[in-house]
A and B are shown apart, each in its own frame.
Chain A
Amino acid sequence: MRERPLGRSRFSQRLDRLTPLLMITPSVILIAIFVYVFIGYTGYVSLTKWYGVVPDYTWAGLSQYEQLFQLERFQADISNTIRFTFLFLIASIGIGFAAAVLLDQKLRGTIFFQNVFLFPLAISFVVTGTIWRWLFNPNQGLNLLFGALHLDFLKSGWLIDTRTALYSLVIAATWQMSGFCMAMFLAGLRSVPDDLREAARVDGATEFRVYQFVILPLLRPIILSAIIILGHISLKIFDLVFVMTFGGPGYSTDMPGLYMFIATFRQNLYARGAAIATVLLLMVAVLIVPYLIWNLREEPER
């Protein structure tokens, strides 16, 4: 009478101890295959000669990479990504920080402005690209507005001029993403205790000094997070370029993320596409891996 339930419970106890592993295993297997095995496969293809529809796994060593870095188009890609990322980060963090400070002043209408700054985050890059392409149409949109306001010096060829196309993309991307920085900074500002600011003010600090010496140092980790999160989004940028310029005019807005897609799925240059993908992954990993480790170290109590 006593033996049986005990036996059953010993089995169910063992099952119980295995439950956490059973619950997480499907996801772990999926990620192991779809992330790590796939990355390995892409890396492998980048070391082959495969071009054309039929797979060709003939070993080619690093020759794809050597060719890639000598390619005019890929050199343009690297320079474009770096310039785009740099400008996009400065603009988004600058505007995001300014907006967050303004919204932290407890002015009337703060909620309204906050919602206005954040809504572009909810819409697709494809929508953003479609709207801004219209605004950047040289015979319509912004040029006509600047004309009407007698600001003719601001008129530009925007997307059809190789000198301005990249900057136009930066404007559209900043419009969409600067609210993200604002939200991060605002969350940070609101976590600064009021007595800290009050103490500095009592000591005679001007409002500017309070920001310089009390608040900015406290926000430093958030600035770093913003640089890393936005930076990696920027390196990966694809949708906006695909919709607004498709890399043109010339290669003036071409990016590694877009060229990988074109090389692989439009030109059947599979090994080259895989090499571009691997370079892109390495660029992102340099930014993200230290960040992941830093984040995990910071929460030992959980």
Chain B
Amino acid sequence: MSVATARAARKPFSLSLVRVVMYALLLVLAIFYLLPIYVLLVTSFKSFAEVARSTPWQIPTLPTLADYTAAFSALAPSFVNTVLLVVPATLISALLGSLNGYVLAKWRFRGANVVFTLLLFGMFIPYQSILLPLVLTLERVGLYGTIPGLILTHIVYGIPITTLIFRNYYATVPGEMIEAARMDGASIFNVYRYVMFPLSIPGFVVVMIWQFTSIWNEFLFAVTITSGDQAPITVALNGLAGSLQQNYGIQMAGALLTALPPLVIYIVLGRYFIRGLLAGSLKG
């Protein structure tokens, strides 16, 4: 603050003008990002009759929770499905990524770089290019149309990103720690178990938040593999909108329910979320 005042004292007029302009620009941007949320919130507390009155920007005259109870009873089963999907898929893909990351960062065999690049390519492909054989395979093993089928899918296609994040994370662990453990006679697996794994908590936090959010929000696999009572919440939300063309109050309440778990995580653990986000661009 004192630096700012000192600077302001040097060039009082132009600096404060620049500052006003900058705040104005920030405000315009903030309005762009927040406007949809404002409309979502006010609409979700309105009765059907009030939504029909075409006053979407006004605060509800008689706030009601009717939209939320309706949306909740429509989406609750799929909300449970998503929880049953996200928890195992996140845990298992994080564990696999941790094993791979350890090997690729610390025990580089011949061709490790090629293997790593081939793994990474898997996270950039358009999943349309594997969708048909995936469906046929899941059909053959009896998992098509089920949550376990979707869990398997998310575990497999989560491997590249979880491996990437853990590999970059483990690369920062000093080699001396591993050498010391090796001198004490620890096997390569025990080095992982007793040295690396306990150091992995921050890595697991980043990976698990990333996987949780991505799988929670995912739509293409969900809509292809499941339907009806097996559908996760994104599919159910889209179905809700399809069956309730005009009832925007319920749609908005449903949208908020769908967005809430990842949003809460973002609000509480945003720092780690951004780290996962930047890791996806490889350069992070």
Contacts and interface: CB of A to CB of B under 8 A. Distances in A.
Interface of A: 12, 15-17, 19-21, 23-24, 26-28, 30-31, 34-39, 41-42, 45, 95, 98-99, 102-103, 105-107, 109, 113, 115-127, 129-135, 137, 139-141, 144-145, 148, 175, 179-180, 183-184, 187, 221-222, 225-226, 229, 232, 235-236, 238-239, 242-243, 256-257, 260-261, 264-265, 270, 273-274, 276-278, 280-281, 284-285, 288-289, 291-293, 295-296, 302
B223 interface: yes
A187 B282 CA distance: 13
Contacts of A131: 36-37, 39-40, 252, 255
A102 B29 CA distance: 10
B23 A107 contact: yes
Contacts of B241: 130, 133, 243
Interface in B50-86: 54-57
Contacts of B35: 135
Residue among B55, B100, B163 with the highest chain A CB neighbour number at 10 A: B100
A137 B52 CA distance: 12
Interface in B148-196: 156-157, 159-160, 163, 171, 187-189, 192
Given A131-B252, A261-B224, A183 B134 contact: no
Nearest to B163: A27
Contacts of A16: 187-189
A135 B36 contact: yes
Contacts of A129: 238
A261 to B, nearest CB: 7
Contacts of A28: 115, 119
B96 A26 contact: yes
A42 B133 contact: yes
A109 B35 CA distance: 19
B23 to A, nearest CB: 7
A102 B129 contact: no
B140 interface: no
Given A31-B159, A183-B277, A124 B216 contact: yes
B105 to A, nearest CB: 7
B254 interface: yes
B134 A119 contact: no
Nearest to A120: B33
B259 A260 contact: no
Contacts of A117: 29-30, 33
Contact of B117 (A41, A120, A141, A293): A293
Contacts, number: 273
A140 B56 CA distance: 6
B125 A239 contact: no
Contacts of A295: 282-283
Given A34-B156, A122-B265, A124-B234, A261 B128 contact: yes
B157 A34 contact: yes
Contact of B129 (A42, A103, A124, A302): A42
Contacts of A119: 33, 263, 266-267
B22 A302 contact: no
B226 interface: no
Given A107-B19, A117-B33, A277-B128, A123 B259 contact: yes
Nearest to A130: B255
A144 B54 contact: yes
B274 A183 contact: yes
Nearest to A235: B126
Contact of A24 (B104, B129, B213): B104
A175 B19 CA distance: 25
Contacts of B34: 116
Contacts of A105: 22
Given A222-B283, A225-B282, 4 more contacts: A20-B107, A102-B25, A135-B39, A284-B126
A126 B234 contact: yes
A236 B126 contact: yes
A278 B129 contact: yes
B208 interface: no
Contacts of B216: 124
Nearest to A18: B188
A134 to B, nearest CB: 5
A298 B281 CA distance: 14
Nearest to B220: A238
Given A221-B283, A242-B219, A277-B126, A126 B99 contact: no
A23 B103 contact: yes
Contacts of B29: 95, 98-99, 102, 113, 116-117
Nearest to A103: B26
B43 A134 contact: yes
Contacts of A179: 33
B13 interface: no
Given A19-B189, A119-B263, A288 B121 contact: yes
A140 to B, nearest CB: 5
A98 B25 contact: yes
B237 A126 contact: yes
